[in-house]
Amino acid sequence: MTDSIRIVGLNKLFSSPDGGTVAAVKDVNLEIGAGKLVTLLGPSGCGKTTLLRMIAGFEEPSSGDIFFGKKRMNEEPPNTRDTAMVFQSYAVFPHLDVFENVAFGLRLRKLPKAEIEERVNRVLEQTGLSGYARRSPNQLSGGQQQRVALARCIVMEPKVLLFDEPLSNLDAKLREQMRVEIRELQQRVGITSIYVTHDQVEAMSISDEIVVMNAGVVEQLGTPHEIYARPASRFVADFIGKANFVPVKILSGDAVDINGVRIGVREMPDLEAGTTVTAVVRPEAIHLAGDKGDFRGTVRRVMFLGNIAEYLVEIEGLGNWLVDSPNPAEAGLFATGDTVFLTPSPSSIHLLR
């Protein structure tokens, strides 16, 4: 049976060299539903790993509470919290074969031999390692070793599964494959999971919800779509994907003024007409044409990336905008110095308060 997790007013202070204190985690409040995979996302030093270590019991909170289900866990040592952690380094035992690596924790529990064999074989099947049971770790690829580390955690049937940047040591192609496998496996076994990463694509692709952290504070909690389409702050919008930040003036009705051009928007904050705010305009939500559009600009940079062409376009009075144009092999490419016209999609403009 997996557990929900509730974090209430959690803080963690560390001593600084000057004799003061540094707040690594500041007043964090979270609720993670049973069976969900939630990612802690943010830049280095934002507090995500410290938060994970407090949940695991490796760090003691300075204040606040951690609950698994209805049970307060603050005083529980790591070995009684019924969690398992997948680390960045695979931490497989080089002197044991795959089967024995996965069986290690079960043997420490002194479970019956038949139960150990049944559980290990089932998990090896789930993780695609059935044919590798008697291989040693040095005969495995990096991705296979990471699967062994994952299988060793799952076989213990923990209530909470923790991931500390588990794919950082893999190359880009293998990372993409492994994150799909981790997500599919987590959904099959249904274990409540918390996953730490600084990789936005990784977080977007595997999460039920994302917790975006910055300087120890939770900037936003939401689904991947909510985080991307409706960022709560400039930091979130800038950290998740690419964004153009455009000053706009609120007009009456569902519209804003961008440099003298009236543009309709889908979601209008409750602000008085005439108020100036910042709009987030994603590069892929801008149509680029050579003949007509809302704004006239000059191409300053072109990057062909295969599935998209990324343009930097200078617009008089608005500065440089990033624009992603899909399928450039068919649509053709504009060149540096070309005059182009840009039309942002009204439904994709998000206003920051």
310 in the same domain as 337: yes
198 in the same domain as 80: yes
Q: Pick out the chain residues at pLDDT < 50.
A: none
Classified as helix, coil or strand, 159 is coil
In the prediction, which pLDDT does 299 show?
97
Residue 203: name the closest of 183, 229, 181 by CA.
Answer: 183
180 in the same domain as 122: yes
49 in the same domain as 190: yes
- Reported as a single tens digit per residue, the pLDDT across 153-183 is 889 889 999 999 888 877 888 788 888 888 9
Cβ pair 31, 51 in contact under 8 A: no
Contacts of 169 (CB under 8 A, 6+ apart): 88, 89, 90, 142
Cβ pair 322, 244 in contact under 8 A: yes
* Largest interatomic CA distance in the chain: 76
Of 198, 218, 237, which residue sits at a domain end?
237
In the prediction, which pLDDT does 201 show?
92
Give the pair of three-digit tokens for residue 242.
Answer: 């690419």
160 in the same domain as 306: no
Contacts of 21 (CB under 8 A, 6+ apart): 13, 14, 15
The CATH number linked to 22 is 3.40.50.300
Give the pair of three-digit tokens for residue 257.
Answer: 């003024």
In the prediction, which pLDDT does 61 show?
96
Domain count, the chain: 2
49 in the same domain as 123: yes
174 in the same domain as 126: yes
215 in the same domain as 288: no
170 in the same domain as 122: yes
Domain that holds residue 333: 242-352
Classified as helix, coil or strand, 268 is coil
Burial of 172 (0-12, 13-18, 19+ CB in 10 A): exposed
In the prediction, which pLDDT does 144 show?
87
Cβ pair 141, 175 in contact under 8 A: no
295 in the same domain as 282: yes
Of 181, 210, 237, which residue sits at a domain end?
237
157 in the same domain as 41: yes
How many other CB atoms are found less than 10 A from the CB of residue 39? 27
Of 237, 254, 284, which residue sits at a domain end?
237
Radius of gyration of the chain (CA): 24
Identify the sign of the CA torsion 115, 118, 119, 124: positive
CA-CA distances (angstroms) from residue 284 to 13, 29, 49?
41, 33, 32
Strands (E), 3-104: 5-15, 21-32, 37-41, 63-68, 71-72, 83-86
Cβ pair 204, 228 in contact under 8 A: yes
The CATH number linked to 274 is 2.40.50.140
Strand pairing report for 217-222 and 244-251? unpaired
345 in the same domain as 304: yes
In the sheet that holds 21-32, the strands lie side by side as 21-32, 5-15, 63-68, 71-72
